[in-house]
Chains A and B, each alone.
Chain A
Amino acid sequence: LAKTTQPISMDSYEGQEVNITCSHNNIATNDYITWYQQFPSQGPRFIIQGYKTKVTNEVASLFIPADRKSSTLSLPRVSLSDTAVYYCLVGGSYQLTFGKGTKLSVIP
């Protein structure tokens, strides 16, 4: 399974765009990249999934360079309610290995 590395924490002001980068140098050809959001005492919530280039949904964008050794989750105009831990997972059929995640703190 591909190991992932993310910053432990990030701070951002309300209304700003936040980019969280995840490194996965040994990603395999069949691996997908999935991002989850977790609030305290809740289960993770699916945000976005991609394989290459760019994926966008109503919540976020996911940028994946051609070598796929990293990926960047982009959250547009964050609000206080976006304060959470964000996990990047990499794998095939199921991505089951959670790294330490990035704790995002949104400041008013």
Chain B
Amino acid sequence: GAVVSQHPSRVICKSGTSVKIECRSLDFQATTMFWYRQFPKQSLMLMATSNEGSKATYEQGVEKDKFLINHASLTLSTLTVTSAHPEDSSFYICSAARGGRARETQYFGPGTRLLVL
């Protein structure tokens, strides 16, 4: 149980275009989902936290107008990178948590490799 998928697994796009990444919890309902970014040989950096039906909470330094997050259902969250530029090239990873408990485990997706040319 607790499987999280991401689509696409990798994407290459031209500078200036927008890219949407989907994150799905396949066998559980995720009250809360998280989006991370990981640059080569670095650790994961939290970008934002989203709760189903409400606006995402972004970490300091993350542009909410550039990284649009939608958490429309308990099993799906999307991250849209708008007007992507080469510096947005990175490994994007989502995680999902059931929520509602004092102690919660995140279950991570397999990640999406974005390359902006």
A interface with B by C-beta (< 8 Å):
30, 32, 34, 36, 41-46, 49, 51, 87, 92-101
Q: Which residues of the partner chain B approach A51 to less than 8 Å between Cβ atoms?
A: 103
Expressed in whole angstroms, the Cα–Cα distance for A94 and B94 within the complex equals 14
The count of residues in chain B whose C-beta lies closer than 8 Å to any C-beta of chain A is 27
A94 contacts B104, CB within 8 Å? yes
> What is the count of residue pairs linking A and B with beta-carbon distances less than 8 angstroms?
57
Chain B residues with Cβ under 8 A from A41's Cβ?
91, 111, 113
Consensus secondary structure, chain A interface: loop
Q: Is B56 an interface position by the 8 A CB rule?
A: no
Residues of B within 8 A of A43 (CB): 4, 6, 93-95, 108-111
Point out the residues of chain B lying under 8 angstroms from A49, CB to CB: 103, 105
Q: Which residue of B lies closest to A43 (CB)?
A: B108
Shortest A6–chain B CB gap in Å is 11
